[in-house]
Amino acid sequence: MPRVAFLAGAAAVSCLAVSLPALAGSLPIQIDADFSDWTAGVWATDPSGDAGPSGVDFTRLELADDERRLYLRFDTGVEVQPDEQQEITIAIDTDLNAATGATIGSIGAEILWSFGGRGGSLDLGGSTIPLDHADIGLFVASTVSDTEFEIAIDRLAAPSGHPLFPGNSFRMALWDANSGDVLTASTPYTFDGTPQPVDSRDFAREDPGDLRLASYNVENDGLFSGGSRAAALGRLFDAIDPDVWVITEVWNHNANEVKSVVEGFLPSGPGESWNVIKIDSGNAIASRFPILETWLVLPGSRLTAARLDPRPVLDSDLLVIANHWSCCTADAARQEQADALVSFLADARSPGGAITLAPDTPILIAGDFNLVGWRQQLTTVLTGDIVDNGTFGPDSPPDWDGTDLEAALTRHPDDRLVATWWDDASSFYPGRLDWIFYTGSVLEARRQLVAETRSMTPANLAAAGLLAGDTPTASDHAPIFADFRAPLVNVGAPTLPADPLGPTLEPARPNPASGDVALRWSIPRPGAWAVTIHDVAGRRVRALAAGETAGPGQATWDGRDDADRPVAPGIYFVRLASPEGNAAERIVRIR
């Protein structure tokens, strides 16, 4: 096999790389460690089993682009962390000349990026300039350790005025200094550049009756800063306007002080008040609903649980757990916190112990989890795989139905990014440190966003009342939020018809409602149909309309049952049943 030269001072090793036919091109890649959007195919391969003692063994490389970014996906063979404790180099030959730049494999690389060293260089032909992640617009997923990664690079970047990609084509290689493995993509890649529009999302709730939870690390008591920072925080609080806040890094202030600030940002209406608790060293939970009971999940750590009464938005109690796990390289401490959280959930789902919840009580778990190290901590939360069984008991799948927790798919409103921490002054990459987990067996997630203003369009910023600099001015973290509702399976599993010409039911208006609710529908074909109101247990409350003719229809529900009695505040469902299928919408009745 041919000899391969590496960076100056590095030993030469043997390798074999295979470039495949040009399969890649423009794709709408989202940098979130979900690789289902990589559909163009593998660009280059390398034989497995040719790695050295570190175990890093590249076998495939995929490439894609759009009008703004270059995307890379590659595997490592063994689990590595993306930003430290490994020696992987990404090398890009931008002039397609093996005689210029640093020799890696069969290419001469003008761009070098040390994946684990968090830095790089750009060869200008006789001189080099250093690069950091902000210079090249770098985003990486996942933030925790993995065996494959996806990376975005700003192909329009021009650090110090020098274009990162002066031409429209390049070659590249991956090299691991520890194992000596190299994958060389010798076939040039040419940018496609076809625009990939982003599914832009605003901050409005899809249904006014949804419950919104937001989580925010306000960075070092940022709630109590004045000036421009307080103004940016106020705009973010107002734009998100949730029912429940999980607020972390409240170091030197108590619950009443937090309440005063939150009330200033989001004033309560007549007869309402924010309820705030703070029982650990840094987390506060602020709720528009009554807070009934609280617990320290792991004394000495920043994990607080609270049982809320969210009625009538949800027809049950709600358990909210605030988290701010240990930072940086403290993997052992984070694993202990993950184990303790799963153990607490197991206690909550069974009679006795420190906490007992009614069966199927919805659970929301949010905060800054500092998931920047080994993947096992994330695996523990999602699956209930406890590492220290001697201390925290047996493994326990954390949802009520014995399945994994769900993670809210929070995303930037106008970009295909999920990073919640982003600091251009730090060497660490932007990453997903903040999460919302939930019991998917009893909750359905709706709107799910990262309130990151730097990547929002001017129109979306204006609609939300935000400025482009609000997120970095307010904190090094962006707030995240998600809306939840009880799933419609509570109404005898009504489903939207597979037939596109099936019946349609418009959302109820107004909703929530204390008086009359207007309902509208359409029946495509003649046949017996009926519109009825049901409670959360699926019991019929009121028969509103029935018929056999096709066409549009409408009715008003006055909040009374079939016996003309006012129904109690809570969640109800309007159901349209017909031979072509069923449709359903949720209604929240308030006093």
Please compute the mean of the pLDDT values over residues 183-202 and round it to a whole number.
Answer: 95
pLDDT per residue over 368-398, tens digit each?
999 999 999 999 999 999 999 999 999 999 9
Provide the token pair at 375.
């993947």
224-252 mean pLDDT: 97
Q: Report yes or no on 403 lying in a domain.
A: yes
pTM of structure: 0.83
- What DSSP character marks residue 349? T
CATH number of the domain to which 39 belongs: 2.60.40
Residue 91, beta-bridge partner list: 112, 173
Instruction: Measure the CA–CA gap between 389 and 231, rounded to whole angstroms.
Output: 47
**Does 26 lie in the same domain as 137?**
yes
Would you say residue 492 has pLDDT above 90?
Answer: no
Token pair 């998600």 is found at 482
CB 250 within 8 A of CB 281: no
Same domain? For 122 and 41 the reply is yes
Residues 321 and 470 both lie in one domain: yes
Mean pLDDT of 224-241: 97
Residue 14 confidence (pLDDT): 37
- pLDDT above 80 for 488: no
Same domain assignment for residues 257 and 164: no
Can you say whether the dihedral through the CA atoms of 69, 74, 80, 86 is positive or negative?
negative
Question: Looking at the structure, do residues 434 and 410 belong to the same domain, yes or no?
Answer: yes
Tell me: pLDDT of 2 over 90: no
Residue keyed to tokens 């007869």: 271
Which of 13-22, 94-103, 492-501, 522-531: highest mean pLDDT? 94-103
Residue 497 has pLDDT above 90, yes or no: no
Among 49-63, 74-88, 175-189, 375-389, the range scoring the smallest mean pLDDT is 49-63
Compute the CA torsion angle 324, 327, 331, 336 (nearest 10 deg).
-30
560 in the same domain as 545: yes
Number of domains in the chain: 3
337 lies in some domain: yes
Give one DSSP letter per residue of 479-544, joined into a string. -EEEEEE--GGGTT-----SSTTS-EEPPPBSSSBSS-EEEEEEESS-S-EEEEEEETTS-EEEEE
196 assigned to some structural domain: no
The verdict on 468 and 501 lying in the same domain is no
75 pLDDT above the threshold of 90:
yes
Residues 179 and 88 in one domain: yes
Which pLDDT band, with edges at 50, 70 and 90, does 12 fall under? Answer: very low
Per the domain annotation, does 195 fall within a domain? no
Interval 112-131: pLDDT, tens = 999 999 999 999 998 999 99
CATH at 252: 3.60.10.10
Determine which of 70-79, 289-298, 500-509, 565-574 has the lowest per-residue pLDDT on average: 500-509
Asked whether the beta carbons of 89 and 98 are under 8 A apart, the reply is no
Last residue of a domain, one of 486, 502, 518: 486
Provide the pLDDT confidence category of residue 569 given band limits of 50, 70 and 90: confident
pLDDT at 442: 95
Q: Whole domain around residue 339: which residue ranges?
A: 211-486
pLDDT of residue 23: 62
Binned at pLDDT 50, 70 and 90, residue 500 comes out as low
Q: Provide the b/e sequence for 254-270 (b: ≥16 CB within 10 Å).
A: ebebbbebbeebbeeee
Q: Which of 486, 510, 539 is the last residue of a domain?
A: 486
- Per-residue pLDDT at 300: 95
Tokens 């009825």 locate to: 532
Give phi and psi for 455, each to the nearest 5: -105, 10
Co-location of 300 and 227 in the same domain? yes
Is residue 500 domain-resident?
yes
Domain annotation covers residue 203: no
Identify the residue with better confidence: 286 or 530.
286
pLDDT category at 568 given cuts 50, 70, 90 is confident
Domain for residue 241, yes or no?
yes
Q: Are 500 and 472 in a shared domain?
A: no
Mean pLDDT over the full length of the chain? 91
CATH of the domain at 581: 2.60.40.1930
Question: Model confidence over 14-69: pLDDT tens digits?
Answer: 344 444 444 668 999 999 999 999 998 999 999 998 877 778 999 999 999 999 99
- The answer to which of 4-8, 165-169, 509-513 has the lowest mean pLDDT is 4-8
Are 432 and 380 part of one and the same domain?
Answer: yes
Whether pLDDT at 499 is above 50: no
pLDDT band, residue 312 (cuts 50/70/90): confident
- Asked whether the predicted pLDDT for residue 246 surpasses 90, the reply is yes
pLDDT at 73 over 70: yes
pLDDT of 20 reads 47
Q: Examine residue 352 and state whether it is found in any structural domain, yes or no.
A: yes
Residue that finishes a domain, picked among 160, 190, 220: 190
> 3-state DSSP call for residue 324?
strand
Torsion of CA 197, 201, 207, 209, to 10 degrees: 160
pLDDT tens-digit map of 419-437: 999 999 999 999 999 999 9
pLDDT at 187 over 90: yes
CA distance 286 to 263: 10
Crossing angle, helix 255-265 and helix 227-240, to 10 degrees?
A: 70
What is the mean predicted confidence (pLDDT) over 231-248? Answer: 98
State both tokens at 66.
């759009």
One domain, residues 304 and 177 = no
